[in-house]
Chains A and B, each alone.
Chain A
Amino acid sequence: MNAVLPILHLFLFPGGLFLLALGLLYQWFSRKLLALLQNRIGPRWFQPLADTIKLLSKEEVIPDGVNPTLFMGLPLVALAGTLTAALYVPTAGLPPAYGFPGDLIVVLYLLSLLTLCTGLAGANTLDRFSLIGATRTLTQLFSYEAPFLLAMLGPAMAAGSWQVGVIADYARGHWLILAQPLGFLVALVGLMGKLEMPPFDAPEAHTEIVAGALTEYSGRSLALFNLGRAVELVVGLTLVAAVYLGGLSNPLWFLVKTMGLLLVLVGLQALLTRLRIDQTVGLWWRYGTLLVLAQWFVMILVWR
C-alpha cells in the first residue's frame, strides 16, 4: 500500500491525469470567456482536448540545425516541471500531496522551468522568429520573476513559514489580500506574465514573430508545451488563490476562487493592448518591484 499511494499521487491525483484534465478545462474556460467578452462564440468544451489529441497524432518535424535531444527533451522537462510543482500546492482544495520547509521556492522555480525551457527551445533552433522569441521570453522571465517572487514571499513572512501548505493553512484564517493588496496585485499580474497572457504576450506576438520561440515546434512536442502551459495555469491560480484569497479549504472553494481569479485575468486580457518588450521590462522594474518593496516596508513597520 505504501508503494501504491505515491504512484496514485503522481499519475492520477493530484498529479498526472487529473491535472492535465483540469488544465485543459481551465484553458477552455479562459478561451471561452475571452471569446464571450470579445463578441465571439468561442471554442466548444472539448476543443483544447481535441487540439491536444490532434497534435499528439501528427508528425513531428525536427528542423535542420537543432540538437535533436534538446529539441525533444525540453518540452518533457517543461511539462514535468509544472506537474511536479502541482504536488506541493493545495490542488483541488486538498492539502498538498507533499511538502517540506522551503518548498515555496521550489514551486516557484519549477513553474519558471516552463518559461526557461521555452526560451532554450527557441534558442536551440536557427529560425529567426524563434531566436527573437527566445530573447523576449528570457527577457520577460528576468523582469517578472523577481517581483513575483517578492510578492509570494509577503504571505510567507506573515505565516512565518516558507512551506506552501503551512502558508495556505495560515491564510485560511487570514484574507491576505486585505492586508497585502499590493502584493496580491503584483502576484496576479506576475501570473499573467508567467503565462504569457496578453498584454504580456510579446514573446509570442504572432503579428511580429509568428509563434515566437515555439515557431519550429509541431506535433508531440508542441502538444507537450501546450499541456505544460495549461497545467501551469492551474498551478499558478491555485498558488495565488491559496496564499492571498483565504486559502482553499475544500474543492468547491478551490473552484470558486481559482475561477474567480481566472475571470479577472481574462477580463484584463480583453481590456489591454499588448506591451512591447521594453515596456514590459519597464513596467516590472519601475512599478512592480517598487510596489512590492513598499509593501514589505509597510509590513516590517506594522507587523512587527
Chain B
Amino acid sequence: METNTLPNSFTVPIGPQHPALKEPGHFQFEVDGEIVTRAYVRLGYAHRGIEKAAEERNWIQDLYLLERVCGICSHIHALAYCLAVEQLANAQVPPRAQAIRVLVAELERIHSHFLWMGVSAHEAGFDTLFMYSWRDREQVMDILESLTGNRVNYSANLLGGVKFDVTPAQIDPILKGLDYLEQRTHHYLNVLRSDTMFLQRTRGIGVMTRAQGEVMGAVGPTARASNVPRDLRVVAPYAAYPQFPVKMVLDTRGDLQARFEVRVQELFESIRVIRSILHDLPEGELSVRLPRRIPAGEAAVRLEAPRGEVFYFVKSNGTDKPERLKVRTPTICNLNSVVRLVVGHQLADVPMILAGIDPCFSCNDRMVRVSRIDRGSEQAMTWGDLRKYGIDHYKRLSK
C-alpha cells in the first residue's frame, strides 16, 4: 500500500464514488498509457464504529448489531459472535441448533457467491450473466425467507442456539430449489469455462502464485484459487462441520479464471452439505439458556465466511456488556493482493481483479484517517483532539 505518488504521473482515481465500486473506497492507479504501474488504496469511508457501539450494548443487543456488520454475509457475523459468547459461558449448544446454523451459513454462501458472480461479470461488461445470476439468486433468497422469515439479515441465531426449527414440510421446497440451483450452477460453470470472449478477460489475469498468496495472507476463495489450503470449515471445523464435513476446493492456476471456478465449485459443495444436513438433521432442543451476565474471560473465534476468514475476539468482564470486541473481515486480508497484482495489468483489468477478491468495504473499515490537504501533512488526532474538533465544528455551524 504505497503512499507517495510520483509528481507528473498520470493517476486515475477510482472512488470514493465510482460506478465500479458498490461501496466507498478510494484507489489511485498510476498508469502508463493503459498499463498500471503503481496502485494505492485508502479505506475508511464507511467506518461505522460498530466495535465501539458493541461495548455500549448488552450481550443480546449486540447480536442484532453485529449481524449488520455485513449486508451479504450477515449470518456468519452473528454466528461468530454467538460461538465466542457460548465459549465464554461454557454452554453446550444442542447439535440440532448447530446443524441449522451451518445450514443457514451454507445457504448464505450460495447467495453470496451468486451475487459475486453477477457483480464480477458486470465489471467485465458481461451484463447478461450478471442479470441471470441475480435472477437465480432469488431462488436461494426465497429459501432463506421460507426458513427464517428474512431475505437478508436472517436473525437465525440466539445466544445458545437458533430461533427456528426446520419442519419436514419445509424440506421439500428447499430440495426443489436446490435442484434448480444445482442445474443453473452447472450451466454457469460451463459458461465460465467455455465462453471465449469471457475467458479472454479472465484467463491469466491477476495471477497470484501460492507463495504470494501465503506471504500476503490471502484468505478464502482468493487464496484457494492459488492453491493455498485455507478453509476453516476443513482445517478447524466449527459448529456442525465435524458432523457434516466439507471438501476443500483448490485450484493451482491462481488467475481470475481460477477464482471464478473455485467459487462455482464451492456452490456444488454447499449444495451437497445442505442436502446432507436436511437428510440427517439431528433431533433435540433448539437452544440452551445463557445467563444475562457472561463470565469474565476472553474468546477468539475464526469462521469461514463466503469471502474468507472472519475473526472475532470477545472479552468479557463479567457484566452484561462486552468489554472489548474485535472484528476482522476477509476483505482487509485480501486487499493487499489487489494492490500488488494490478501492477503491470491493463486498466481495463483493474475492476475485475478488484472484484475478484469479492471486496466488502463497510465490513472492513475500522478507522478513519483524515488527510488535511491545506495542512500538507497527515496527523493523527487523539480522542481528546477529535472531541474538541467536533465541538468546535458544531459551534461554528450553529453560529
A37: which of B18, B128, B197 is its contact (CB, 8 Å)?
B128
Q: Is A132 an interface residue (CB 8 A)?
A: yes
Residues B197 and A38 in contact, CB atoms below 8 Å apart:
no
Residues A273 and B349 in contact, CB atoms below 8 Å apart:
no
A208: which of B132, B200, B348 is its contact (CB, 8 Å)?
B348
Residues B351 and A207 in contact, CB atoms below 8 Å apart:
yes
Contact partners of B135 in chain A: CB under 8 A: 39
B11: which of A40, A128, A277 is its contact (CB, 8 Å)?
A128
Interface residues of A in 198-220 (CB under 8 A from B): 198-199, 201-202, 205-210
Interface residues of B in 116-161 (CB under 8 A from A): 121-128, 131-132, 135
Given contacts A128-B13, A276-B201, A279-B200, contact A208 B128 (CB under 8 A): no
Contact partners of B168 in chain A: CB under 8 A: none
Residues A274 and B128 in contact, CB atoms below 8 Å apart:
no
Interface residues of B in 338-383 (CB under 8 A from A): 346-351
Q: Is B12 an interface residue (CB 8 A)?
A: yes
Bound CA–CA A199/B198 (angstroms): 11
Residues A201 and B128 in contact, CB atoms below 8 Å apart:
no
- Compute the total of residue contacts between A and B using a CB distance below 8 Å: 75
Bound CA–CA A276/B352 (angstroms): 12
Task: Please give the distance in Å from B130's CB to the nearest CB on chain A.
Answer: 8
Bound CA–CA A175/B12 (angstroms): 49
Given contacts A128-B11, A273-B201, contact A38 B350 (CB under 8 A): no
Bound CA–CA A198/B121 (angstroms): 13
Residues A132 and B19 in contact, CB atoms below 8 Å apart:
no
B125: which of A132, A199, A210, A278 is its contact (CB, 8 Å)?
A199
Residues A207 and B346 in contact, CB atoms below 8 Å apart:
no
CB-based nearest B residue for A270: B128
Interface residues of B in 158-177 (CB under 8 A from A): none
Q: Is B20 an interface residue (CB 8 A)?
A: yes
CB-based nearest B residue for A129: B12
Residues B125 and A273 in contact, CB atoms below 8 Å apart:
yes
Residues B200 and A273 in contact, CB atoms below 8 Å apart:
yes
Q: Is B392 an interface residue (CB 8 A)?
A: no
- Residue interface bits B1-27, CB-to-A below 8 A is 1, else 0: 000000000111100001110000000
Residues B131 and A39 in contact, CB atoms below 8 Å apart:
yes
Given contacts A39-B135, A202-B348, A277-B34, contact A208 B126 (CB under 8 A): no
Contact partners of B123 in chain A: CB under 8 A: 207
Contact partners of B20 in chain A: CB under 8 A: 206-208
Q: Is A1 an interface residue (CB 8 A)?
A: no
Given contacts A39-B132, A207-B351, A208-B348, contact A275 B19 (CB under 8 A): no
Residues B127 and A276 in contact, CB atoms below 8 Å apart:
no
CB-based nearest A residue for B33: A135
Residues A273 and B195 in contact, CB atoms below 8 Å apart:
yes
Bound CA–CA A278/B34 (angstroms): 9
Bound CA–CA A114/B336 (angstroms): 42
Task: Please give the distance in Å from A102's CB to the nearest CB on chain B.
Answer: 38
A273: which of B10, B12, B34, B124 is its contact (CB, 8 Å)?
B124
Bound CA–CA A279/B198 (angstroms): 12
Given contacts A270-B128, A273-B201, A279-B200, contact A210 B18 (CB under 8 A): yes
Interface centre among A201, A207, A209, A275, by most chain B C-beta atoms within 10 angstroms, is A207
Interface centre among B123, B125, B135, B197, by most chain A C-beta atoms within 10 angstroms, is B125
Given contacts A38-B131, A276-B349, contact A207 B122 (CB under 8 A): yes
29 contacts between A and B (CB under 8 A): A37-B128, A38-B131, A38-B132, A39-B131, A40-B131, A129-B12, A132-B34, A199-B125, A202-B348, A205-B348, A206-B19, A207-B19, A207-B20, A207-B122, A207-B351, A208-B347, A209-B12, A270-B128, A273-B195, A274-B126, A274-B201, A274-B348, A276-B200, A276-B201, A276-B346, A277-B34, A277-B346, A278-B34, A279-B200
17 more A-B residue pairs beyond the given contacts A210-B19, A273-B200, with a C-beta to C-beta distance below 8 A: A38-B131, A39-B132, A128-B11, A132-B34, A206-B19, A207-B123, A208-B348, A209-B12, A210-B18, A274-B124, A274-B201, A275-B200, A276-B201, A276-B346, A276-B348, A276-B349, A278-B346
Chain B interface residues toward A at CB < 8 A: 10-13, 18-20, 31, 34, 121-128, 131-132, 135, 195, 197-198, 200-201, 346-351
